[in-house]
Structure 1
């Protein structure tokens, strides 16, 4: 569930954010920046646990390689 919040930014900061990130992606960008500072290390611990799952990592690597191959074929 998401909550709506209004924040105030310097105009130059807002324009830079809009130029760099894009209008529809600003909220997610800000959330991604804030998340590790407000949720503590639980997220980091979860990522570490996932990285230790060798079967999951092998499947992720296979998927990534297949995607890269598809993109290379599409570029031709």
Structure 2
């Protein structure tokens, strides 16, 4: 789904945009520029890669369990 948005640009910037991409392609050009900045998927990909690393996950679980034991020992 697309949403309509009104933006304000300096006249010189608008004219340059018009010359470079044309009237009917401005919206797509701006969307393509913005997309990687507002829909950052690299963090998701990084988490997926970390979860797939079984050795790292085993170490993380071991660390969490040791931390939980330490915390339970402190409360006694």
Using the size of structure 1 for normalisation, the TM-score is 0.54
Residue 19 (structure 1) shift: 0.4
Equivalent position of 1:14 in the other structure: 14
1:41 Cα shift? Answer: 1.9
Q: Give runs of ≥4 in structure 1 deviating > 2 Å.
A: none
Partner of 1:36: 36
> Highest CA radius of gyration, 1 or 2?
2
RMSD: 1.7
Deviation at 1:25, TM superposition (A): 0.0
Cα deviation, 1:9-35, whole Å, max 9, x if unaligned, reads: 000000000001000000000000000
TM-score normalised to structure 2 length: 0.54
Task: Work out the CA distance in 2 between the residues paired with 1:4 and 1:41.
Answer: 24
The gaps in structure 2 that reach 5 residues or longer are: 46-76
Q: How many residues end up aligned between the 2 structures?
A: 44
SS at match of 2:20: helix
